[in-house]
Structure 1
Amino acid sequence: MKIYLVGYMGSGKSTIGPLLAEVLSYKFIDFDTYISEKEGMSISQIFKSKGEIYFRKAESLYLKQLLEEDSDQIIVALGGGTPCYGTNLQVLKDSDAQTVYLNWHFKRLAQRLWEAKEERPLIASMQSYENLEDYVRKHLFERGFYYNQSDIVLKIEDQNPQEVVDSIKNSLL
């Protein structure tokens, strides 16, 4: 089985993915790291030097490549926008992969992102928490259509990472 974690930036995909992979004895791939390795530069550098349109096209190309690989038993933490651009959602739905949406309330996501905004190229320049919260709310509204088409929609409130992993594992059975 291939499992693709989807959700907004800061939803914990890169934290939950390795934990879930360990529990299931699967290989873990962080999709941003995968893209960075293929492109030979960080996601931030790609955005700065080549722009978001280039990044989104590369993201689609690498998603298709990853889905076409014969390796089963992998867990992939997708980028927050991956299922929302181009034909990526349909490509995921047409594959044999299971998608899991880590669904957080926008206020909790904004809190999590504010603490680490310097590491996120799309929000690093935000000057106020209120602006970030509005930005997250708007994006979640726009992206909810895509995220909610996941095979499993997991509502996350105050669960710790291990509890989230257990919920995913139980949902896959």
Structure 2
Amino acid sequence: MASGKSTLGRELAVKLNYDFIDLDDYIEAKENTSVSNIFKTRGEIYFRSIETKYLKALIENDHNLILSLGGGTPCYGNNMEMLLNTPHVKSIYLKASIPTLVARLKNETCKRPLIAHLATDEQLTEFIGKHLFERTQFYAQSQLTLLTDNKDSVTIVDEIMRQLIQ
């Protein structure tokens, strides 16, 4: 959350002349409801199962696509394994520090259901730290890792482009 996946994904897609899909937006369109409503009415297990189904369908389609995943996507089912074992897929971990993520999120808590209940910077810091601790083992398996702290989107997209060309 707040690593820049969607923003950078859109910019990279434009630069490469690829299509761009945000997986959460795709799920919302396919399910005709919001992700938060799916969690509320059907539960996380249902969400994670359809998330895997739609991820699989999208990566099996071998076309020029930048796909922005939800922060939890690589951590459930066999999603990370599926990404790593699909030859045309390149996985990228946009690594931001906890203070950077807190700074990006602290004024957006009302827009993000998972953190809307967090009232202080300390609670937000703890939430982010806990999630990163649980998820880093999955993120670290990505084929590319880019540090994003104190970098603008143009710099990060250029770094991604250089890494993809190698």
Task: Say if 2:141 is the partner of 1:141.
Answer: no
Correspondent of 2:72 among 75, 78, 81 = 81
Mapping of 1:55-66 within 5 angstroms? 55-66=47-58
1:70-113 per-residue CA deviation (whole Å, 9 max, x = no partner) reads: 3x211001000000111111111111200011000011112211
> Residue 106 of structure 2: SS of its match in structure 1?
helix
Correspondent of 1:157 among 136, 143, 149 = 149
1:32-87 per-residue CA deviation (whole Å, 9 max, x = no partner) reads: 100101111011111111121211111111111111123x2110010000001111
What fraction of aligned residue pairs are identical, expressed as a percent?
Answer: 46
Q: Structure 1 regions of 5+ residues with no counterpart?
A: 1-8
Higher strand share: 1
Q: Structure 2 regions of 5+ residues with no counterpart?
A: none
Using structure 1 for the length normalisation, give the TM-score.
0.92
Using structure 2 for the length normalisation, give the TM-score.
0.95
Work out the CA distance in 1 between the residues paired with 2:112 and 2:43: 15
Question: Which of structures 1 and 2 has the larger relative contact order (alpha carbons within 8 angstroms, sep 6+)?
Answer: 1
> Residue 95 of structure 2: SS of its match in structure 1?
strand
Superposed structure 1 runs of 4+ greater than 4 Å apart: none
Give the stretch that moved more between structures: 75-84 or 38-47: 38-47
CA RMSD, Structure 1 to Structure 2 (Å): 0.9
Correspondent of 2:34 among 42, 46, 70 = 42
